[in-house]
Amino acid sequence: MISERLRIASQFLKGYHYLADCGTDHALLPIYAIEKGYVKKAIASDNKNLPLMNAKDNINQKGLFLEVKTVLADGLSYLNLENEVDVVTILGMGGIVMKDILDKAYLYNVKRMVLQPNSHSELVRRFLEEHKWKIVDEVFIEDNKKYYQIIVCEKGSMILNDLDREFGPIILKKKPPLFIKRIESMIDHFNQALEQAKDSETKEKLNQRIAFLKGALA
């Protein structure tokens, strides 16, 4: 059963041809995308053997061994000039690792990327900003009691501020109720910490963070 996070991410693959799913784990996303007809072919890659073996089993059980190819690789190292991959997904990794993967990848033939950093999303958006990728859509969701930001980007330019980098320019524009609820919860958390803070330096940092978060709701 595919998670809500993966299901929503898969919606942004429609109309593309060849998917590279980096950190595929059990290959649930490429299998789903093929079955739904969102893409025609896929590469399911991972840097660990065990997840890749699980991925192969799932692919074979679905009879999709001709459509989905498994690759043992670090990041997107298999992308090259001759590659037909036109859409990339990297979901569920930390932002530091994700930025490093993107930094080393040959992305010239890629038309769209769907990214979901588990942390340090500001580093990922800064990479996109600095390497001529434009965010065209974003979704803020809750799945299994965790919050996720899904970032959809295509070739183009954009200029982001600090709020945009951390929370996403489109998420900030849409301000979905779930996002507002999350920010208000974070503000409450820092206000509680502020009440217990003893030294002035800590209080100043907490006040700055609270002000920053309130800016996300403005």
Q: Based on the number of CB atoms within 10 Å of its own CB, is 39 exposed (0-12), middle (13-18) or buried (19 or more)?
A: buried
pLDDT 10s digits, 170-200: 999 999 999 999 999 999 999 999 999 989 9
Question: Which residue range is the domain that position 196 belongs to?
Answer: 180-217
State the pLDDT confidence band at 143, using cuts at 50, 70 and 90.
very high
Number of folded domains in the chain? 2
Q: 88: closest CA among 139, 7, 22, 2?
A: 22
* Mean residue pLDDT across the chain: 96
Q: How far, in Å, CA of 186 to CA of 193, rounded?
A: 11
174 falls within a domain: no
State the pLDDT confidence band at 147, using cuts at 50, 70 and 90.
very high
Residues 158 and 188 in one domain: no
Among all chains, which residue has been given the structure tokens 């990327």?
A: 113
CB 45 within 8 A of CB 71: yes
CATH code at position 134 = 3.40.50.150
DSSP state of 94: E
